[in-house]
Amino acid sequence: MRGYDGSSYGDGMADVYDEWYAAPADTDACVATLARLADGGPILELGAGTGRLAIPLARLGLEVHALDGSADMLRRLAEKPGGSDVHCHVGDMAGALPDGLFRLVFVAVNTFFGVLDENAQRCAMQSIADRLPAGGRFVMEAFVPDAQQDGDRIEVRDLAADRVVLSISRTDASAQQAIGQFVELRDGQPVRLRPWAIRWATVEQLDDMAGRAGLAVEARWATWNGVEFGSDSVNHVTVYRRES
């Protein structure tokens, strides 16, 4: 998508993110699992957004660092109760990560797929591995790709008497990429565009990237509640561990 960069999604969504994406029902289970895997911390969250996970982890007394490409997202995180306890960093997970070693690095809700080509994803995986000591863990939550179809789609995301939000997207299955815009039309207001883009990867591709970076699969579940992962699972939570 022309003009799209690492800050585009966050800057476009920051003002509506908490309204549009209410905390999932498994958030408490997610926080508890991450805190256990962190083994005392410190923790680095990639694509932290407005702090749904970073803030409650910091409340547990853990040292939490939050990386996001959008300064606006991180500003909103910092303004929330407990947000000042999180160390915020503006940056790209495919670029230079914050200095230091972290017992746990994690990325939730498909956010790793915001890295938009295979080589950049491999570089990100290596950068993550380089920030882990022996025994450190990288945890990823992502969807399991199905048979994606090429083409363009227009759908109504929200409809009210004075407002409509359209979702417009284009999928290129061979490139494993999809791009789109949320187009918000509000009576008497300028049109608002909120762009997004992803490059998905299969579980097998992610495991290969991790293996090349020196990370091995320690566990994989279908949900944060520990439901067993199987051939019909639509999401996965994978724990990678650095052995040496």
* pLDDT digit string, tens, across residues 212-227: 999 999 999 999 999 9
Q: What is the CATH number of domain 8-145+200-242?
A: 3.40.50.150
The residue-averaged pLDDT of 147-166 equals 93
The angle at the Cα of 69, spanning 64 to 118, to the nearest 5 degrees, equals 105
pLDDT digits (tens, 9 = 90+) for 62-98: 999 999 999 999 999 999 999 999 999 999 999 899 9
Q: Give ranges for CATH 2.20.25.570 in the chain.
A: 151-198
pLDDT, position 200: 97
Residue ranges matching CATH 3.40.50.150 in the chain: 8-145+200-242
What amino acid is encoded at 52 in this protein?
R
Which pTM does this prediction carry?
0.94
The yes/no answer on whether domain 151-198 falls in CATH 3.60.70.12 is: no
Segment 105-129 shows an average pLDDT of 97
Distance between CA atoms of 179 and 201, rounded to whole angstroms?
15
Three-state secondary-structure class, residue 81: coil
C-alpha to C-alpha distance for 93 and 107, rounded to whole angstroms = 10
Give the contacts of 127 (CB within 8 A, at least 6 positions apart). Answer: 93, 94, 95, 96, 97
Kindly tell me the sign of the dihedral angle through the C-alpha atoms of 83, 36, 67, 223.
Answer: negative
Q: Where are the alpha helices (DSSP H) in 60-199?
A: 71-79, 118-130
